[in-house]
Structure 1
Amino acid sequence: MAELDSSGGGGKKKGGKVRSKKQNARVDMTPMVDLMFLLITFFMLTTTLAKPQAMDLAMPDKDEKNDDKFEVADTRTMTVLLGDKNRLEWYMGSIEEPKNPTVDNYGKNGIRKAILEKIKDVKAATGKGLIVLIKASDKSTYKNLVDILDEMKITNVGVNGGTYAIVDITEPELDLLKRDGVY
C-alpha cells in the first residue's frame, strides 16, 4: 500500500512546554494508482493506431490475352520514362515524333510541375483529361515507380477524364533514354 507521511514531528520543545503531538496525516495512494491504470488502459484501447497507407492499383490479369489496342490522340498522351539515378524523361505524343523530350527529376519542381501544366494544356485544347503512360527501364528502382505513382495521386491525373497506366518500355524509348544520358 502506498502512503504519504506528512507528520510534523511533535513532542517537547526547548522551553520545557509540552505540546500535544500532531496526528499523522496519511493519504492512501492506492486508489489513485488504480484509477491511473484504468485510464491508461481505456485510452490505449480506444485510440486508433496509425493505419498503413496503401494505394489502389488495378493491373490486368497476365493470363488473359487481350490483343485489342486502345487508340488515343497523341495530343492527350504524356509518356514518362523512368531512368537511372532518380531521373526521368517525359515527352508528349508518340515515340515516332516525340514533342520536346525533357529530362527531369521527381518532386514539386520537376515532374509534378510538368504534369500540372500538361493537364491544363490538354483540358484547354481538347476538353478531355490527360493520359499518362509510365514506362520503367531496367535501370530504374522500385522507389522511382512508387514516386511517380505518388505524383499521379498528388496531381489528380485520374480525375476529370484523365488516366494513367504502367506500360512496358520499348526499344526506341530505351534509345531515347540512352541518347539523353538517363539510362
Structure 2
Amino acid sequence: MAEVIAQEKQGGSKQRKKLIRVDMTPMVDLGFLLITFFMFTTNFTKPNVMDLRLPAKDPNPHPIDNVMRDKNQVTFILGKDNRVFYHQSNAEDLNSSNLKETDFSGIKISKIISEAHKNAPKPEIFTVIVKPTDEANYKNFVDILDNIAISKKERYGITDIKPWENKVYEELTK
C-alpha cells in the first residue's frame, strides 16, 4: 500500500530524507468496483413505448357494402391548434355540417367512440380511424390513441387524410 524509502543524503550532514511512495493499484481497483456497483444498482430510464398492433392481412377479404362500412367506423381528423374533427360519412355525404368538432378535454372523445360503437351495424368489426393532418402535433396523436385505449377498442387504423376530407377540413378551418 504505502512504502517508506529511507535515503541518505551525501555530504556533510547525516540527515535522512524519507520519501513516501503510495501504491495506487488498490485505489484504481476500488474505483472500478465502485463504478461497477453503481452501474448495476442504478435504474436507467425505461423508454415509453406505445403498443401499436397492426392487423394481419386477410387472405379472403369479404365485400362490405359502403353504407354499412361508413356507419361502422368513426374517423378523427387531427388539425392544427389542438383541434380535432370527427365524422361517419363517405366521400359523397361528407360536408361541413356533418364534420363535427370536439376537443381533448375530459372524456369527450371516448364518449364519441362509445356512441359510434353503440350505433354501429356490426359492432364486432367497428373501427376507429385516425387521420392526422400536416399541422397536427404529436401530443394530440398520443392523446387520441390514449382515448382509443380508454374506450377499449382494439380495431383502429392510422392513415393519411383523403383529398375529399381535406377539402371539407380546409373549409372549416379558414
TM exceeding 0.5: yes
Which deviations, in whole Å up to 9, do the C-alpha atoms of 1:29-59 show, x marking residues without a partner?
A: xxxxxxxxxxxx9xxx6xx888544211146
Equivalence map 1:34-49=2 (5 Å): none
Query: Hey, what does 2:29 align to over in structure 1?
Result: none
Which aligned segments of 4 or more residues in structure 1 are displaced greater than 6 angstroms?
none
CA gap 1:107/1:50 in 2 versus in 1, 3 angstroms: farther
Aligned to 1:154: 150
TM alignment of 1:110-149, pairs within 5 A: 110-122=108-120, 125-149=121-145
Q: 2:84 aligns with which of 81, 84, 88?
A: 88
Q: CA RMSD in A?
A: 3.1
Percent identity over the alignment is 29
Q: Which amino acid aligns with 2:109?
A: I
Q: When the two structures are superposed, what TM-score results if normalisation uses the length of structure 2?
A: 0.60
Deviation at 1:101, TM superposition (A): 1.8
2:167 maps to 1:175 = yes
- Distance (whole Å) between structure 2 residues aligned to residue 70 and residue 107 of structure 1: 38
Q: How many residues align?
A: 126
> 1:12-43: per-residue Cα shift (whole Å, max 9, x none)?
xxxxxxxxxxxxxxxxxxxxxxxxxxxxx9xx
The correspondence of residues 49-128 of structure 1 with structure 2, limited to 5 A, is 51-58=46-53, 73-98=69-94, 100-122=98-120, 125-128=121-124
The answer to whether the 8 A contact 2:72-2:123 is kept is no
Specify every segment of 5 or more residues in structure 2 that has no aligned partner in the other structure, as ranges: 1-36, 56-60
Residues 59 and 102 (structure 1), Cα distance of their counterparts in 2 relative to 1, 3 Å cut: same
CA apart distance, 1:98:
3.0
Q: CA deviation at 1:171?
A: 1.5
Give the distance between the partners of 2:137 and 2:151, measured in 1 at CA.
Answer: 22
SS at match of 1:84: coil
Query: What is the TM-score normalised by the length of structure 1?
Result: 0.57
* 1:91/1:102 contact within 8 Å kept: yes
